[in-house]
Amino acid sequence: MKNRNILYVIALALLAASCSSAQGPTGDPVSPVQGLPQGTDGYPWWNDTVFYEIFVRSFYDSDGDGIGDLDGIIEKLDYLNDGNPATNTDLGVSGIWLMPIHPSPSYHGYDVTDYYAVNPEYGTLEDLQDLIQQAHQRGIRVVIDMVLNHTSSKHPWFVEARSDPDSGKRDWYIWSGSDPAYAGPWGQDVWHFSPGGYYYAIFWDGMPDLNYTNPDVTAEMQDVVRFWLEEVGVDGFRLDAARHLVEEGTVQADTAATHAWWEGLRPFYKTISPDAMLVGEVWTDLGAIAEYVQGDELDLAFEFDLAQAFMDSALEGNAYSAAGQVKLTSALIPGMSFAPFLTNHDQERVMTTLAADPEKARVAASLLLTAPGVPFIYYGEEIGMQGGKPDEDIRRPMQWSGQLYAGFTSGVPWRAPGEDYQAYNVANETRDPNSLLSHYRNLIALRNQHAALRVGELSVVRSTDVALYAILRVGAGEAILVAINLGDEPVSDYSLALDGSPLAAGTYLSASLMGPQSSARLVVAEDGGFSAYTPLAKIQPYTTLILQLGK
C-alpha cells in the first residue's frame, strides 16, 4: 500500500465497506471470442494494440437522420480492420474507444442521465453488443467512455436530490448550506446555487459531482462497471476526469482519497474481467500521471506532455522536445503503462495545429506510432481533417468521400463537414500510395508486424543534427532503429551515437522497413553503444527511416 495520508485509508475503508447494490438492467452478454491476442513477452494485450477514438455522432450515419450511430460504425469496421492481416486496405487498428454512448441532454454525452442504457440517437444496447461481437471477430477490442466523476443535472438522482433535501439521494452529491466561495483548479466557479443549497460541480452547473465519500455511490458505480463488463461485454473503459474523483476540501485533483478509490476499484473489476483495461484521462504533468499507473490503480493513463512534445517537434522541425519527453516518460512510467497520442476531442486537430502541412502531419504520425506505450489516434487524423474551437468543429463528421456532406450521411448532418473534405477524404487517399492515410496504414502495419515497435525497450539515440529524431527499440527478439527528419531541409552532415543499449556487441547490417535501404554497417560496443553511425549519406526532408538490425 502506498504511503498516503489518513484520508487515503478512510477512502479505502469506505470502498471496502460498500457492496453491490441496485441491479441495473440486464442484456444478453457478448459471447467470448476465441483467438484475440493476449500480449507479447508478458505484456497485456493493450500493449499490442493501436486504438482509434470515435465520436459516434460524427463517424457514419447509417439511417439518414444526420447523426452517426452504432450501426454506422459496424458498416465501417472493415475500414478500421477487416480481420485479414494479408490485406492493406484497412487502417489496421485493433482497439476502438467510443466516446460517451449513454443517454445525455448534450450533443457530446459527458453529462449522463442513465448509466445503464445507450443513447437512443446512437441505437440500442443490442446494437452495441452487435458492434462488439463483429469487432471481436475482426480482432478489435472495444472500450467505452465512462464518466464516473459527475452526472448530468438532469439525471433522476440529482433531480431528486435537489428537489428533496431529505431524499436518500441527497448525499449522493456534495452540498453546502452557504457558498464556500473558493474556485476550482483553473479559476472556475465550482459551487452553484440551487433553492436547496449550493452544490459542487467542477466543470459546470450542468455536471454535478458525485460524492464518493458515500459508500452507496461507490456501490452503485461498481455495479455500473460490472454491468458493462459482465452483461454487455465491453473490453474496458476510458475514464473521464479521473484525477478529480474525490475532493479533500479545496484540494480538487489528485487527492489521496482519489488514488485510494481507484486502488480499491482495481480488484473489483479485475475479478469480473481480468483482461479488462482502464485508461485514465489524467490531464496534468507527468509526475502526477505516474502515480496512477504503478500497478495498483489504472492500467494506462494518457500522456499529455508527450503529446505536446510530439506536436512541438513536428511543428518546429526540431527533435529536442520529442526526444527528451519520450525518454523521460519511459523512465518515470515503467512497463510502458502510458498512452501516447497527438491530439484528442478537446484539442485543436493535428492538421490545424501544424498549419495544414501534410508533411508535418506525416512525421507527427511517425513519432506517435514508433513510440513505446499504447498509441491512440483520434478519428480523421489519419486523413488530415482540420478543426479548432469551438469543440463542435473539432468533432465534425468523418470525411469519407468528396460527395455531398463528405459521404457521412444521406440526410442533413448534425454539423457541417470541414470545408476541405473534397480534398482530404478516405476515398481520395485510399487510392494514393503517398497519402497521409497510406502513411498511417503503413506505420500501423509495421507496428503490428514487429513486436520491437510495440514492446521493445527504448533507447534515445543522439543525433548531431537537431532536425533528426532517432530512437532504438529492442525486444521480442529483434532490434529496430528509427530515424525521422522532422525538418524541411535534407540532413547530410550528421551522425548518430548511443552510450549503451540492450544490443549485443558486434557488427550489424540493416533491412529497411520504411524509407531508403541503408548499406552502412553499425558497429556495437560491449555495452550496446555505438558512435559515428550514418545510415544514409542524406536523409530527405520529412523522411521516416525504419531499419531492422541484424548480424
Q: What is the pLDDT of residues 51-85, one digit of tens each?
A: 999 999 999 999 999 999 999 999 999 999 999 98
pLDDT tens digits for range 180-207: 999 999 999 999 999 989 999 999 999 9
Q: In sequence order, what are the residues at sequence separation of 6 or more whose Cβ sits closer than 8 angstroms to the Cβ of residue 538?
A: 490, 491, 492
Mean pLDDT, the chain, whole residue set = 93
Residue 330 has pLDDT above 60, yes or no: yes
| Alpha helices, DSSP H, located in 409-472 | 426-430, 436-449, 451-455
Q: Rounded CA gap, 276 and 376, in Å?
A: 17
Q: Which is nearest to 144 in space by CA: 220, 51, 221?
A: 51
CA atoms within 13 A on the CB side of 313: 32
Please give the Cα distance from 37 to 469 (Å, whole number).
Answer: 31
**DSSP-assigned letter for residue 230:** I
- Look up cell 441532454; give the residue: 105
pLDDT band at 39 (very low <50, low <70, confident <90, very high): confident
pLDDT category of residue 155 using cuts at 50, 70 and 90: very high
The 10s digit of each residue's pLDDT in 377-426 is: 999 999 999 999 999 999 999 999 999 999 999 999 999 999 999 999 99
Whether 9 has a pLDDT exceeding 80, the answer reads no
Tell me the C-alpha distance between 19 and 158, whole Å.
22
Percent of the chain predicted with pLDDT > 90: 90
Query: Lowest-pLDDT range, 13-22, 169-178, 339-348, 542-551?
Result: 13-22
DSSP, collapsed to helix, strand or coil, labels residue 60 as coil
Cα distance between residue 83 and residue 79, in whole Å: 10
3-state secondary structure at position 386: coil
Give the number of other CB atoms < 10 A from CB of residue 512: 14
Q: How confident is the model at residue 476, as a pLDDT?
A: 84
Q: Is the distance from CB of 446 to CB of 514 less than 8 angstroms?
A: yes
Interior angle at CA 111, CA 198 and CA 397, nearest 5: 145
Section 232-254 average pLDDT? 97
pLDDT reading at 361 higher than 80: yes
Catalytic residue positions, numbered? 240, 281
pLDDT digits over 162-184, tens only? 999 999 999 999 999 999 999 99
Burial 171-185 (b: 16+ CB within 10 A, else e): ebbbbeeeeeeeebe
**Is the pLDDT at 137 greater than 50, yes or no?**
yes
Q: Region 502-529: what's the mean pLDDT?
A: 96
What are the tens digits of pLDDT across the range 93-116? Answer: 999 999 999 999 999 999 999 999
Strand spans (E) along 177-269:
191-194, 197-200, 236-239
Instruction: Convert the pLDDT of each residue in 255-314 to its tens digit.
Output: 999 999 999 999 999 999 999 999 999 999 999 999 999 999 999 999 999 999 999 999
Record the cell numbers describing residue 263, joined without a space: 486502488
Angle, CA of 148, 152 and 153, to the nearest 5°: 135
Q: How confident is the model at residue 11 (pLDDT cuts 50, 70, 90)?
A: very low
Confidence of residue 41 (pLDDT cuts 50, 70, 90): confident
The residue type at 40: T
pLDDT of residue 16: 37
Residue 37 banded pLDDT, cuts 50, 70, 90 = low
* Cell numbers placing 313: 517537434
